[in-house]
Structure 1
Amino acid sequence: MRLDAPQPRPPVESVTPMINVVFLLLIFFLMTATIAPPAPFEVELPAAEAEPGAAETPRTLHLAADGRMAFGDARGEAALHAAAEAGRDAQTPLALRADGAIEAAALARVLTRLGERGVARADIVVSGR
């Protein structure tokens, strides 16, 4: 009978550190991500020949074809006031999502009122169809 010493097993590598890193990255991305709120009402963007404009941001003033305005949770005149405050304080321009069927005079009035309230720049969002 032959008695040999048992062969040493290779060490088993644990996957626990890798799982910890994956969960830490998941938590980091969840905490730093910005989730865009849904649009308050549907607008049909005007078509443009150039590249599409600014993406949906929390600093977006929505204009419906019938003249309704929304900015975040604010509606009507309160939306215009809140958009003017946000457009005046930030370095990035205010995004304006106007329905393609809105009259040019109504859009011009809104832009004039924003300018009177101190907004230096507003980008109109278009679709690049």
Structure 2
Amino acid sequence: MDFRPARPRRRPAEAIVPMINVVFLLLIFFLMTARIAPPAPFEITPPLASGGEPATEKVSLFLSADASPSYGGASGAAAWQALAERPDDAAPLLIRADAELPAATLAQVLKRLAGLGIASVMLTTRPR
């Protein structure tokens, strides 16, 4: 017989490694499924309008209040060149114009886009 005093049992250490694995898997999942939008090349305030559908196009033509264009990371004349190289079967071109842009200037931009072969465009607005 063993008459030595019984050693108190220590609680087993909690396994934290599986929890860390789950956290990292969730982090990877959210990073892989997130849609990261590129920042706008300059600050614009879209015009007010009612109705319409939300825009889904990723690459947009940005027009500032002074009509300087930006498309796909290119600005100025390079933006017009990038628009000329846009495929014909692409989705309608999404235009993000500033509310301060005069309508006559926007009409000239639309005419220039038609000259490049882009006939289908959508203008982004903000709800009233």
TM class by smaller structure: 0.7 to 0.9
Change (3 A) 1:89 1:23: farther
* SS of equivalent to 2:88: helix
Any idea what the Cα deviations from partners look like across 1:59-108, whole Å, max 9, x if unmatched? 11111121111113211121123234346353x32210111121222212
- Matching residue of 1:119: 118
Any idea what the Cα deviations from partners look like across 1:43-71, whole Å, max 9, x if unmatched? 2211002257426x541111112111111
Change (3 A) 1:86 1:18: farther
- Matching residue of 1:77: 77
Aligned length: 127
**C-alpha contact (below 8 Å) 1:60/1:71 kept by paired residues:** yes
**Structure-2 separation of matches of 1:42 and 1:10:** 59
Larger radius of gyration: 2
**C-alpha contact (below 8 Å) 2:83/2:116 kept by paired residues:** no
Unmatched tracts of structure 2, length 5 or more? 4-9
**Structure-1 separation of matches of 2:89 and 2:18:** 44
Unmatched tracts of structure 1, length 5 or more? 3-8
CA RMSD of aligned residues (A): 3.2
**Structure-1 separation of matches of 2:55 and 2:87:** 14
**Structure-2 separation of matches of 1:103 and 1:128:** 19
**Structure-2 separation of matches of 1:87 and 1:25:** 37
**C-alpha contact (below 8 Å) 2:70/2:79 kept by paired residues:** yes
**C-alpha contact (below 8 Å) 1:87/1:94 kept by paired residues:** no
**C-alpha contact (below 8 Å) 1:94/1:123 kept by paired residues:** yes
| Percent identical | 51
- Matching residue of 1:35: 36
